[in-house]
Structure 1
Amino acid sequence: MFYLLPLMLERVGILIIVAFLLSRMTSFRQTLHHEDRLPAKLLLIVIFGVFGMISNYTGVEIHGGAIGSEIWQAGVQVDSALANTRIMGVAIGGLLGGPLVGLGAGLIAGLHRLTLGGYTAAACSISTILAGAVTGWIGRRFRRSDPGAPWRAVAIGILMECVQMGIILLIARPFDAAVQLVSVIALPMIVMNGFGTLMFMLIIQSILQEEERTRALQTNQVLHIADRTLPFFRQGLNPASCREAASVILEATDADAISITDREQVLTHVGAGSDHHVPLHSLATQLTRSVLEQGRMSVATSKEDIQCFHDGCSLQAAIVLPLQVRSGTVGTLKLYYTNPARLDRVQREMAEGLGRLFSTQLELAEAEMQSRLLKDAEVKALQAQVHPHFLFNAINTISALCRTDPDKARELLIQLGVFFRSNLHGARQILIPLSQELRHVEAYLTLEKARFPDKFEMTFDIEPELANLEIPPFTLQPLVENAVRHAFHGLGPHHKGSVCIAASQKGHEVMIVTADNGKGIPAELLDRLGEQAVHSEDGTGTALHNIRKRIAEIYGSEGSFRIVSDAHTPGTRVVITLPLHLAHRREMHA
């Protein structure tokens, strides 16, 4: 009996080595984490069934009371039996995979044992199938991640081995031979199977713990990156914010380069390949376009898949992730690698998590921006600045013209409709085209000039390509109204007022200037105008304050609102500067 112990230990060692090698395989690790799926269960049946077959082949033959020395058992004599670790593999399979895996592995190992022969073949086959069924049933309630799980598995394995000894005594014949066999193999098989189960379960538990640690570290890293990039993504997708965010991502991940795009162009590229992956260029690869169209992550594992046509490009692999806002893809995040081998499963999972978090950040930023803009009904406050006197005056003017100039009256009615339609439409929008804001201004001026034909004139100097430029509503009309109502007031009947709106592109910025030739603004009032509401005889400055605040909310440091005036010099200029890349975005509409 004691001579059998080292032989059994040797056989257990073979299985433990196989188990360790399996634990290093990614496919086996993934199977353990998805054992509730049918393909994973079938794979576990095969794995643990083969474990049982290996145990049969490497068993120690027992003839009478003598212990054989053959290493590989292709068959067993009629009056001989096997001492092996078959129950160990089947029991572990049942505990890990549940009833289907336990029964399947038990059938494979048990039926295989039956084919080898020997007077205990039937008893061993039945006990193996029974062990698979019982441990599979226990496996439904078995928590393998618990610290005590390996020891519970050892207890279950020992119990199944004891059951096997009992079945041998009940079924195997001749009975005397069965009794003699059990007296020789019982203790070594129970001890070694218990030891092997413990080692096997410790390996399984180390796999699970390693995965948990990896996921915990990965989650912590993703959250850390998200926390550092939040201030930048809250500004939306623009070159400045994306450059800062990309630098953070590059520093915190194993990627060799980071690129962020919107739907039209590359906003930033940092890291390897920066010499030819130039920001603010149009999208060049079908890989990025397909992600924008399909809204799904895409992985490139070769330079050809990346489709960079620069001969010296060192980028060999990439993960391209969609950045989504309200189920629409507004851009992409690209992680590049110079070595495709570094693009492993961990990197893909982490990148996918980053993509989801960044999409959430962009969506929350947009929702926050809309909430801030609408929470106090500031836009509606601007709309409400259409004084009743303006409406009454317009109606009186149109009424008078109905008798003297019906065509003019009809034109003014149309313009009045345009004016109020613009008010209603602007109150529901975050941004509107510049051309629409100018129609609002023209409608207002048409109605005012009908009352005061010679009081002022209006000119526009708008670059044609800026007609679709998007700006906040009620940005220009209040400025023109201020000029008409305040700048020209008290200048005498011979002074003809002039207001000019000009829009031009300066590099990556758009400059919109509203200038008049009316009274200047005193220095003490100028410092407060736009910064806060003020109290004066000419008005409160609420419109200017709201315009400045909305530009700051939407564009951050990239937008500006500036009033240039002097009480001693005629004229006031209001200069609004907007970033061109945001001013052309259509996705920010409410």
Structure 2
Amino acid sequence: MFTLFILLLQRLGIILALAFILVNVRFFRRLINQNTWQAKFALIIIFAIFTVISNLTGVEITHDSALIQSTFLTTLPQSDSIANTRTLTITVAGIIGGPIVGTAVGFLGGLHRVIQGSLSDFFYIPSSMLVGLFSGVAGRYFKRNDTYAGPWITALLGICSEGIQMIFIGIFSGLALLKLIFIPMMGLNSIGAFVFVSIINAYITNEQQLKAVQTHDVLNLTDKTLPYFRQGLNVQSAAKVCQIIKQYTNFDAVGITDRVNVLAHVGAGQDHHLPNQTVMTDLSKHVITSGTARFAYHKAEIGCPNANCPLESAIVLPLKVNDRTIGALKMYFVEAERLTPVEENLALGLASIFSSQLALGIAEEQSKLASDAKIKALQAQINPHFFFNAINTISALMRTNVEQARTALLQLSTFFRSTLQGVRETEIPLQQECEHVNSYIALEQTRFPDQYRVTYDIAPDAQIKVPPFCLQVLVENAVKHAFTGRSSNNQINISVQQSADTVLLEVSDNGNGIAPALLPQLGEVAIDSKSGTGTALFNLNQRLIGLYGPASQLQIQSTTAGTTIKMAIPRRSANHTK
């Protein structure tokens, strides 16, 4: 009996050594954290292999109780029996994978034992399945949070599982064999289950402790990155954020991109992953296009065209604002095996936090722009110069044409009312914006009769919402700047056309055009001027980008024959009015 115990202890060492190797395999660690049919199937295959190894490394017991050692016990005479660690692996399979995995592994292990014994002792199939079912149900019952049953409970489950097997052996193989193997196999199964599950629990506990440490660091990290992400996604803010992430994590390199260019890259590979260059890696391009996270466990999966790139594994995640991907967060290791589920979960959390921070920054920027829009609108539209000009014109008309003065006064009222309504909303009906334009032009026509002619080309089905002042600002810009030195034949055309995806708004004039040196700055920077139109164009452009994305920014074309300014609003954002 003692000799059998020592021999089985050697076999147990093989299984536990394999278990230690298995726990250090990334694929297995991901499986035990999943509850999918694919994960269960993979666990069945893995533990079935362990069970077959247990059968093959067993100790043969002859009909006269002699012990026979062999390297691999592939076949067994019908008169002989075998002592092995099969029940141990089935028990652990049930504890780790649950009743379905335990029962399936029990069936496969029992079937192999029957085949190994020259198709004898069919009772091993139901007995092994019962062991797997019992350990699976009991393991689920005693599981605590993310860790499995405690060591002593696991040892007790091992004893109970082996006890089930012993009952079948006693019934079908006799008490003589049972007396020989009972104590060694009961002891080995309980010890083996104890150690096997303890190895896995130790890894899980270490991972949880690492997560706790990372949580503390993440709180500090997010606190430090918030001020930069609130500035928006640009080269300066991205560089600061990458430095902070690298400081508080174990990643060898950190990068951030927008949809087209690398904004920052800190750490390994920064000699060729340069700011303001087009995104190089295939992995990043796929994430930006698809909007889904990707993990690369080999250098080839990253797809960097630089053959000397030291980056071996990567996590690339989309940065999203309002379900729209605006860039990517990239984290790299120079050693592929360092990428574990802990780092993957950390990166997913960071991407979510950073996306929220960017959304907060954009929301604040939009709020600021909205406030600025109100101020600029009131300054530009309800300013003393404009107001007194209108009042003086109306006062003069009251002495010569009372009806025309009355009409002008109504137009002034409409203009102020539209202005006050517009500053309360981020989008208003197109018809309301056109009324605002009409009241402005009517007042200007009162001062300068027949000097300006405004025409509309609006698609009949273009019942949409647009940002307030988007047309009025452009028309005012044309009135104040396009026709300098001209008193007639001054035409402004407003066009609104719909396509399958966008609504195109266009304001064009036949004026003198914009100076070539000034053209690139319009809408991109705030230009100081007495009339304020440069600032108004910049404000409008930023509001368009914030509401609908870069594709909606102002497009300005100008020659000496006139100027055309366009903006494209996505139809999904151009809500139909009721």
TM-score of the pair, normalised by structure 1: 0.65
Partner of residue 165, structure 1: 166
Partner of residue 251, structure 1: 247
Does 2:429 correspond to 1:428? no
CA distance in 1, matches of 2:181, 2:308: 69
Answer yes or no: is the 8 Å Cα contact 1:222–1:353 preserved in 2: no
> After superposition, what is the alpha-carbon deviation per residue over 1:215-244, rounded to whole angstroms, capped at 9, x for unaligned?
444444444322210111112223332332
Give 1:396 deviation, angstroms.
4.3
> After superposition, what is the alpha-carbon deviation per residue over 1:546-568, rounded to whole angstroms, capped at 9, x for unaligned?
xxxxxxxxxxxxxxxxxxxxxxx
Structure 2, unpaired ranges of 5+: 428-432, 450-466, 478-516, 549-572, 574-578
CA distance in 2, matches of 1:223, 1:325: 21
Corresponding letter in the other structure for 2:352: R
Corresponding letter in the other structure for 1:514: S
> After superposition, what is the alpha-carbon deviation per residue over 1:59-82, rounded to whole angstroms, capped at 9, x for unaligned?
223335533132343333444322
CA distance in 1, matches of 2:278, 2:207: 41
SS at match of 1:105: helix
SS at match of 1:510: coil
SS at match of 2:325: strand
Partner of residue 322, structure 2: 326
CA distance in 2, matches of 1:274, 1:157: 53
CA distance in 1, matches of 2:424, 2:100: 63
Does 2:527 correspond to 1:512? yes
Does 2:231 correspond to 1:240? no
Answer yes or no: is the 8 Å Cα contact 1:154–1:197 preserved in 2: yes
Give 1:343 deviation, angstroms.
5.5
Partner of residue 224, structure 2: 228
Partner of residue 180, structure 1: 176
Change over 3 Å in CA distance of 1:399–1:305 after alignment to 2: farther
Partner of residue 545, structure 1: none
SS at match of 2:137: helix
CA distance in 2, matches of 1:577, 1:119: 89
Change over 3 Å in CA distance of 1:165–1:298 after alignment to 2: closer
Q: How does 1:354-433 map to 2 (within 5 A)?
A: 354-370=350-366, 382=378, 393=391, 396=394, 400=398, 403=401, 421=418, 423-429=420-426
Q: How does 1:492-571 map to 2 (within 5 A)?
A: 510-515=525-530
Give 1:3 deviation, angstroms.
2.8
CA distance in 1, matches of 2:161, 2:91: 8
Change over 3 Å in CA distance of 1:47–1:314 after alignment to 2: closer
Q: How does 1:3-402 map to 2 (within 5 A)?
A: 3-34=3-34, 36-64=35-63, 66-71=65-70, 72-117=72-117, 121-143=121-143, 149-172=150-173, 178-263=174-259, 265-271=261-267, 279-280=275-276, 290-298=286-294, 302=299, 306=303, 319-335=315-331, 346-370=342-366, 382=378, 393=391, 396=394, 400=398
> After superposition, what is the alpha-carbon deviation per residue over 1:407-446, rounded to whole angstroms, capped at 9, x for unaligned?
x99999888866754554444249xxxxxx9x99998698
Change over 3 Å in CA distance of 1:418–1:167 after alignment to 2: same
Answer yes or no: is the 8 Å Cα contact 1:287–1:305 preserved in 2: yes
Give 1:360 deviation, angstroms.
0.9
Answer yes or no: is the 8 Å Cα contact 2:408–2:446 preserved in 1: no
CA distance in 2, matches of 1:76, 1:315: 52
Corresponding letter in the other structure for 1:238: N
SS at match of 1:333: strand
Corresponding letter in the other structure for 1:201: V
Answer yes or no: is the 8 Å Cα contact 1:394–1:447 preserved in 2: no
Corresponding letter in the other structure for 2:425: R
Answer yes or no: is the 8 Å Cα contact 1:265–1:282 preserved in 2: yes
CA distance in 1, matches of 2:396, 2:281: 59
Change over 3 Å in CA distance of 1:282–1:418 after alignment to 2: farther
Give 1:256 deviation, angstroms.
4.7
CA distance in 2, matches of 1:119, 1:278: 67
Aligned residues between the structures: 480
Give 1:40 deviation, angstroms.
2.0
Structure 1, unpaired ranges of 5+: 173-177, 431-436, 454-469, 481-501, 517-572
**Greater Cα shift, 258-267 or 354-363:** 258-267
Give 1:22 deviation, angstroms.
1.7
CA distance in 1, matches of 2:205, 2:414: 70
Give 1:264 deviation, angstroms.
5.5
Give 1:2 deviation, angstroms.
2.5
SS at match of 1:586: helix
Give 1:97 deviation, angstroms.
1.9
Give 1:586 deviation, angstroms.
0.6
Give 1:88 deviation, angstroms.
1.4
SS at match of 2:76: coil
Answer yes or no: is the 8 Å Cα contact 2:253–2:269 preserved in 1: yes
SS at match of 1:141: helix
Give 1:293 deviation, angstroms.
3.5
Give 1:451 deviation, angstroms.
6.8
Partner of residue 539, structure 1: none
Change over 3 Å in CA distance of 1:342–1:135 after alignment to 2: closer
**Greater Cα shift, 380-389 or 75-84:** 380-389
Corresponding letter in the other structure for 1:80: D
SS at match of 1:514: coil
Give 1:288 deviation, angstroms.
5.1
Corresponding letter in the other structure for 1:142: F
CA distance in 2, matches of 1:400, 1:118: 118
CA distance in 2, matches of 1:350, 1:155: 36
Change over 3 Å in CA distance of 1:107–1:441 after alignment to 2: closer
Give 1:334 deviation, angstroms.
3.5
SS at match of 2:545: coil
**Greater Cα shift, 251-260 or 382-391:** 382-391
SS at match of 1:3: helix
Change over 3 Å in CA distance of 1:338–1:157 after alignment to 2: closer
SS at match of 2:361: helix
CA distance in 1, matches of 2:168, 2:2: 23
Partner of residue 488, structure 1: none
Give 1:55 deviation, angstroms.
2.6
Partner of residue 496, structure 1: none
TM-score of the pair, normalised by structure 2: 0.66
Give 1:326 deviation, angstroms.
0.8
> After superposition, what is the alpha-carbon deviation per residue over 1:128-173, rounded to whole angstroms, capped at 9, x for unaligned?
232223223333423065585222121122123233333333333x
CA distance in 1, matches of 2:91, 2:74: 24
CA distance in 1, matches of 2:375, 2:523: 28
SS at match of 1:323: strand
SS at match of 1:17: helix
Answer yes or no: is the 8 Å Cα contact 2:147–2:205 preserved in 1: no
Corresponding letter in the other structure for 1:182: L
Give 1:320 deviation, angstroms.
3.9
Q: Percent identity?
A: 35
SS at match of 2:179: helix
CA distance in 2, matches of 1:330, 1:195: 54
Change over 3 Å in CA distance of 1:291–1:120 after alignment to 2: closer
Rg larger for: 1
